[in-house]
Amino acid sequence: MRRELVCVSCPVGCQLTVEVQAGRVASVSGNRCPRGEAYAREEAVDPKRVLMSLVKVVGGERPVVSVKTDRPIPKRLIPQAMEIVRALTVPAPVRIEQVLAEDIGGTGANLVATRDVAQVR
C-alpha cells in the first residue's frame, strides 16, 4: 500500500511517499532530512496526536477549563481517553500546567490544564 503524506515536522512541508507492506514501512521517499522519515514511519503505522478538549470545573469563574495531553498519544486510544475527559470534573482553582489526570487512558500521557480558572468566592 502506498500513502502520500505531508511532513509537519517543520514549515518546509515535504511531500512524503510511504510504502507499507504487511503493516510495516518498506520505504519512505520525498523527505529532505531524517526527521521526515521518522515522521512518516510513525504516521503510517501508529499515528499520534495531542488531545485537546475541555474539562468541567466546579466552583470556578468559568464552567470549564481547556486541557491537553502533555505529549502526543496514539490516535487509536483517543476515544477511550475522551471518555475519561468527558467524565472528569475538577474543583477550582485550577492552575495552568496542573495535572488533572495521570496516564490518561493508559497512554502514558498526563492531561494538563492550559489556563488558570480562579475560584468563585
Choice from 24, 32, 75, 95 touching ligand SF4 (CB under 6 A):
32
Site for ligand SF4 in 67-96 (CB under 6 A): none
Cβ proximity to ligand SF4: between 12 and 120 the closer is 12
Helices (H), 54-112: 78-87
Residue nearer to ligand SF4 on the CB measure, 15 or 80:
15
What does the angle CA 60 – CA 50 – CA 66 come to, to the nearest 5 degrees?
Answer: 10
Distances (CA, A) of 5 to 24, 28, 85, 115: 16, 10, 30, 33
Q: Is 18 in the site for ligand SF4 (CB under 6 A)?
A: no
d(CA 114, CA 61): 15
User: Is-contact 51 83, C-beta < 8 A?
Assistant: no
C-alpha cell at 19: 510504502
- For ligand SF4, the closer CB: 36 or 105: 36
Nearest approach, Cβ of 6 to ligand SF4 (angstroms)? 8
Is 13 among the residues that bind ligand SF4 (CB under 6 A)? yes
Enumerate binding residues for ligand SF4 (CB under 6 A). 7, 9-10, 12-14, 31-33, 35-36
